[in-house]
Amino acid sequence: MQYRLLGRTQLKVSVIGFGASPLGNVFGETDPKEGERAVHMAIDEGINFFDVSPYYGLTLAEERLGKALQGYRGSIVLSTKCGRYGTGEFDFSARRVFASIDESLRRLRTDYVDLLQAHDIEFGDMKQIIEETVPAMRQLQQQGKVRYIGVSGYPLTVLMRVASSISVDTILSYCRYNLLADDLDADLVPFAEAHGIGLINASPLHMGVLTNQGAPAWHPAASEVYRAAKEAAEFCRLHDADISELALRFCFDYMRVATTLVGMATQDRVSKSLRAFQTSADPQMVRQVRAILAPVFNQFWPSGRKENQ
């Protein structure tokens, strides 16, 4: 495994990060015992960064991850979130932030997390995030309940607006750098580098789009994105390759983020991520797949137009 420093924090995180949302059945029913084995396998193979949230499976992912991490806490870097508690349920008040961390710590069976992130801040009131949420998170840092703090979300403009108004240690951005999108590289990376902010790249498979099984029903992209991804997956199959492996490798190679979070809940997924990490991507194959995906590249939701992100 390789490790990179997360911005100016002292956290050295594995290039493959363990995205724990599938442990909460976000992508369909998963077996808790198998999820536990996947966590242990990941740790044995050197994956040390684990990302979860109270939102994933409405606390189920935190419960399961906490159980699986018993006895391993000292050797891993643990990140959870606050502010999002359901599909349309958000509360970024200081009061909720203080209660939320105590609930998360109980579920995660620990007395601190390495990183606490305000979850999907575009759904909150920016004034409140800047004047109340982030300062409350800094108080938790002073109390020793969290080591570092960050924000997460989809619209890069919102993430950058908040991070230029108040200091944060990390930004988690999803579906902005993979075979289907790259505006993280043009917009967020220069900003983060200038401010010494650590970057976490999530959803290398575009939340399940770049897979043979396809995206989950709740996925927000336009239907032409799924059609193009299906064609790309088929092209890979015909050439004895796997679209997911190619997509993962593409992200692991990207040096301007500290880690790439892959959603995993089975040993098979962990070994596939490791295999992608160990094999190099055929540049010609990457070019051909990108050509198939080109018509839907950097197509953003909900409207598909970047300026509306």
- Whole-number minimum distance, CB 205 to ligand NAD, in Å? 3
120 is an interface residue for ligand NAD by CB under 6 A: yes
The C-alpha atoms of residue 164 and residue 173 are separated, in whole angstroms, by 16
DSSP letter for 78, please.
Answer: E
User: What is the size of the binding site for ligand NAD (CB under 6 A)?
Assistant: 28
DSSP letter for 170, please.
Answer: E
54 is an interface residue for ligand NAD by CB under 6 A: no
144 or 202: whose CB is closer to ligand NAD? Answer: 202
Query: What residue has token string 């998963």?
Result: 30
204 is an interface residue for ligand NAD by CB under 6 A: yes
x/- track of binding to ligand NAD for residues 14-53 (CB under 6 A):
-----xxxx----x-----------------------x--
Query: What residue has token string 């359901």?
Result: 86
> In this chain, which of 90, 174, 277, 300 binds ligand NAD, going by CB under 6 A?
174
> In this chain, which of 77, 205, 236, 251 binds ligand NAD, going by CB under 6 A?
205
- Whole-number minimum distance, CB 141 to ligand NAD, in Å? 19
202 is an interface residue for ligand NAD by CB under 6 A: yes
269 is an interface residue for ligand NAD by CB under 6 A: yes
- Whole-number minimum distance, CB 53 to ligand NAD, in Å? 6
> In this chain, which of 93, 211, 267, 288 binds ligand NAD, going by CB under 6 A?
211
251-290 in b/e form (b: 16+ CB < 10 A) is: bbebeebbbbbbbbbbbebbebbbebbeeebeeeebebbb
- Concatenate the DSSP letters of all residues of 201-220 into one string: EE-TTTTTTSSSS---TT--
The CA angle 281-192-4, to the nearest 5 degrees, is 50
59 is an interface residue for ligand NAD by CB under 6 A: no
96 is an interface residue for ligand NAD by CB under 6 A: no
Q: Write down the catalytic residue from 56, 85, 177, 254.
A: 56
Q: Which one-letter amino acid corresponds to residue 223?
A: S
262 is an interface residue for ligand NAD by CB under 6 A: yes
203 is an interface residue for ligand NAD by CB under 6 A: yes
- Whole-number minimum distance, CB 279 to ligand NAD, in Å? 12
Specify the DSSP element, H or E, that contains 157.
Answer: helix 156-165
x/- track of binding to ligand NAD for residues 235-254 (CB under 6 A):
---------x----------
Q: Do residues 34 and 25 make contact, with C-beta atoms less than 8 angstroms apart?
A: no
The C-alpha atoms of residue 117 and residue 194 are separated, in whole angstroms, by 20
56 labelled catalytic: yes
153 or 198: whose CB is closer to ligand NAD? Answer: 153
Sequence length of the chain is 309
Q: Do residues 178 and 299 make contact, with C-beta atoms less than 8 angstroms apart?
A: no
Encoded tokens for 179: 């075979």
Would you call 154 exposed, middle or buried from its count of C-beta atoms within 10 A (0-12, 13-18, 19+)?
A: buried
Q: Which residues are catalytic?
A: 56
Using CB under 6 A as the criterion, which residues of the chain lie in contact with ligand NAD when the complex forms? 19-22, 27, 51, 119-120, 152-153, 172, 174, 202-208, 211, 244, 261-264, 269, 272-273
